[in-house]
Amino acid sequence: MGVALPPSANQDELWTGYFAAHYQGRVAAIAEQIFANSGVRTRQAAVNPMTEDVSGWSTEQRMRRYQEEALPLGKEAVERALTSSGLDAADVGLFAVCSCTGYATPGLDILLARDLGMSPRTQRLFVGHMGCYAALPGLGAVSDFVTARGRPALLLCAELPSLHIQPPAARLETQQVVSHALFGDAAVAVVLRPEERNLRGYAVREVAAVTDPTTADHMSWQVTDLGFRMGLSARVPQVLSRHVRPMVDDLLSVHGLTVADVDGWAVHPGGPRILDTVERQLELEPSALAASREVLATYGNCSSPTVLLILDALRRRPEPPRRVLALAFGPGLTLYAVLLELA
């Protein structure tokens, strides 16, 4: 794995230095409480609103800046992942990129493949607008390639939510306040290789998904003239509470396992209530989601890279967990899960 982060920003300073003036009157008081209860201490911002206010920028301006910021950030993450894997860029058979916060063609997949010296025959895949859960179907796609072709693959998740701060609103728009309080920027790359002897790492054992189309309006990411606008219903935890336990039980049963057999949990921290819901439905000890809560506190919700940041934290423990279940959630409303096992 390889992680790359823009400069860090303190949550309290973001509030006092920018967002306190972004909201007015009663809205400001409610917004301040949402920021305080977000579970976020620090987060990273390629574009810090305290020094550069993009809330009035057009989508065109934001997309140009996305290319400027995402390219070096993604390159740093990929180079670190390749170095740690002992592979050269030319060894990569498939290069997959997940990102929902910026678009251009040629995209990150093409430009990074060129700049890093990947083979002209390297296959590429770009996954856009899957949002916060994109890393897990991305992981499934690259692991399928590795299994079928017997060649290494590389997954990059790169997001810059800081480019999508919305203009001030006269009335309370809770969903916008929540997104302003939660999201941060990050890039994480993961190398997958065919199974080899003496190769230490996590093997992808199972991928599962559940989509509840009756709740499609609960989470959205709309392209507007002023950047991308987040829609996040307060009912999302309620939907998760119906689906997360059956999905997890079904996935684990394929391998003759139960929740008790999982000693590592990488649960996407869409917010504190999301983590509380998963903990309650899976009947986990509070310590089980410590890594997810710490990633939320340190990085915020970085959309697709977030679950990979949690995996990175788990694998760096003095005694890494043997079995990890990664869970992430996003538009659809969609739940994705990946079972990993230490090889």
Task: Indicate the helix (H) or strand (E) that contains 80.
Answer: helix 59-85
pLDDT of residue 163: 97
Domains of the chain: residue spans and CATH: 2-192 (3.40.47.10), 202-342 (3.40.47.10)
Query: Is 302 an annotated catalytic residue?
Result: no
Closest CA to 190 of 149, 130, 160, 146: 146
CA dist., res. 225 & res. 81, Å (int)? 36
Catalytic residue among 100, 132, 157, 302: 132
For residue 38, report the phi and psi dihedrals to the nearest 5 degrees.
Answer: -75, -20
CA dist., res. 30 & res. 50, Å (int)? 21
* End-to-end Cα separation, the chain, in angstroms: 15
CA dist., res. 9 & res. 41, Å (int)? 9
Q: What tokens does 105 get?
A: 């063609």
Closest CA to 81 of 168, 189, 229: 189
pLDDT of residue 58: 98
| Cis peptide bond upstream of 305, omega within 30 | no
Beta carbons of 162 and 183 less than 8 angstroms apart: yes
- Amino acid identity for residue 165 in this structure: I
Residue with tokens 């058979």: 93
Burial zone of 61 (CB within 10 Å; 0-12 exposed, 13-18 middle, 19+ buried): middle
Ramachandran class of 131: left when φ > 0, alpha when ψ lies in -120 to 50, beta otherwise: left
CA dist., res. 307 & res. 292, Å (int)? 8
One digit per residue, the tens of pLDDT, for the chain of length 343 reads 999 999 999 999 999 999 999 998 889 999 999 999 999 999 999 999 999 999 999 999 999 999 999 999 999 999 999 999 999 999 999 999 999 999 999 999 999 999 999 999 999 999 998 999 999 999 999 999 999 999 999 999 999 999 999 998 878 888 899 999 999 999 999 999 998 767 789 999 999 999 998 998 888 889 999 999 988 888 888 989 999 999 999 999 999 999 999 999 999 999 999 999 999 999 999 899 999 999 999 999 999 999 999 999 999 999 999 999 999 999 888 999 999 999 8
CB atoms inside a 10 Å sphere around CB 317: 10
Strands (E), the chain: 2-4, 8-10, 42-44, 94-98, 123-127, 153-159, 186-192, 202-211, 219-224, 227-232, 264-267, 323-330, 334-342
Closest CA to 111 of 49, 153, 69, 174: 69
CB atoms inside a 10 Å sphere around CB 114: 11
> Any idea what DSSP says for residue 49?
T
pTM greater than the 0.85 cutoff:
yes
Tell me the residue length of the chain.
343
Task: Indicate the helix (H) or strand (E) that contains 27.
Answer: helix 25-36
Residue with tokens 């079904």: 250
341 - beta bridge partners?
A: 203, 323
CB-based contacts of 146: which residues, under 8 Å, 6+ apart? 93, 94, 152, 153, 192, 193, 194
Is 333 in a helix, a strand, or coil? coil
Task: Indicate the helix (H) or strand (E) that contains 116.
Answer: helix 108-116
pLDDT of residue 15: 97
pLDDT of residue 120: 96
